[in-house]
A and B are shown apart, each in its own frame.
Chain A
Amino acid sequence: MTKRRASALAATLAGLLVAGAVHAEGDPEKGRYASQTCLGCHGIPDQANVYPTYMVPKIGGQHSEYIVSALEAYRSGDRTHPTMQAQARALSEQEIQDIAAYFASIDQPR
C-alpha cells in the first residue's frame, strides 16, 4: 500500500511537472495592450540605449520562445538591465506569454 501510494504520488508530481512545463498560451489581443510600453523604445528605429550606448535591439520577428525566455530572465534578475528588469517585474507569466504572442502576430512592416 505504501508502495502504491508512493507511486501514485510520483505520478501526480510528474503530471504537475509536465503541466508546469507547458506554457499557457498567450493571447495576442491582451498582449497588444500589455506591450504598449515596449514600443517607447523597441518601436523607434535606431533608438539608443545609454550607459552603455548601443542601439535598442530589434525584437520584431524574433522567436517567441526567445522573447519569453528573455522577459523571464529579466524578471528573475538573471539578466540585468534596469529598465527591462523594471518592466518585466511588472508582468505576470501570462502577460509575458501574451506579449510574445502579440509580437508573433505582427507582420513585418514594408
Chain B
Amino acid sequence: MQRISVFFATAALMMLATLSTAHAAGDPEAGREKSQTCAACHGEKGNSQNAMYPKLAGQHPSYLYVTLKQYKSGERDNAIMSGQVTQLSDQDMRDLAAYYGSLEGDLYTLPLRDGGQ
C-alpha cells in the first residue's frame, strides 16, 4: 500500500516537473501584435538590417524569453532594451519570444564542419 502511494507521489511530482519545464506557451499571433515597437530596430520580420541590432527571426524562443526577462530584471543592461521591456508582462515576453522564434530568418546553428574541411 505504501509502495503504491510512493509510486503515485513520484508520478505526480514528475508530471509537475514536466509542466513547469514546459514554458507557459507564448502565442505567436499575440506576439506579432505586440511587436510593432521592436520592428523599428529588429526589422519588420525580425531580420534586422542594422548590424548594431541582432537578428531575431528564427532564434530559439526560450533564449529570447530569458533575454527579455534579464533586461527586465536588470541582469542584462542596455540603454534601449531596458526601457523597452518595462511595460512588458511575463505573457508579453513569452508571446514576443514565440513570435520571433516562429519567423523565417538567417540564423542557424553553427555547422561543426564548414565546407572545405
Chain A interfacial positions (CB closer than 8 Å to B)? 32, 38-39, 42-46, 49, 52-66, 69, 78-80, 103, 106-109
Interface centre among A43, A53, A54, A109 (most CB of B within 10 A): A54
B residues in contact (CB < 8 Å) with A = 21, 48, 51-55, 58-60, 62-63, 65-66, 75-77, 105-112, 114-115
| Residues of chain B within 8 A of A60, CB atoms compared | 107-111
Within the complex, which residue of B52, B75, B105 is in contact with A65, where a contact is CB–CB below 8 Å?
Answer: B52
Q: Nearest B residue to A35 by beta-carbon distance?
A: B110
> A62 CA to B53 CA in the complex, in Å?
9
List, in ascending order, chain A residues with CB within 8 A of B109's CB. Answer: 42-46, 58, 60
Q: Are B111 and A80 in contact (CB under 8 A)?
A: no
Tell me whether chain B's interface is mostly helix, strand or loop, or mixed.
loop
- With A and B bound together, what is the CA distance between A56 and B107 in angstroms? 12
Determine whether the beta carbon of B60 is less than 8 Å from that of A55. Answer: yes
Is A63 a contact of B55 with CB atoms below 8 Å? yes
Q: Are A58 and B60 in contact (CB under 8 A)?
A: yes
User: How far is it, in angstroms, between the C-alpha of A78 and the C-alpha of B75 when the chains are bound?
Assistant: 9
Majority SS of interface residues in chain A? Answer: loop
Asked whether, in the complex, the Cβ of A43 is within 8 Å of the Cβ of B62, the reply is: no
In the complex, what's the smallest C-beta–C-beta distance from B108 to chain A, in angstroms? Answer: 4
Query: How near does chain B come to A40, taking the closest CB pair, in angstroms?
Result: 10
A62, B112: Cβ atoms closer than 8 Å: no
Which of A56, A62, A78, A103: most chain B Cβ within 10 A?
A62
In the complex, residue of chain A having the shortest beta-carbon distance to the beta carbon of B58: A58
Enumerate chain B residues within 8 angstroms of A46, measured Cβ to Cβ.
60, 109
Verify B76–A80 contact, CB threshold 8 A. Answer: yes
A109 CA to B114 CA, complexed, in Å = 8
For B111, list chain A residues within 8 Å (CB). 43, 60, 106, 109
- A55–B107 CA distance with the chains assembled, in angstroms: 14
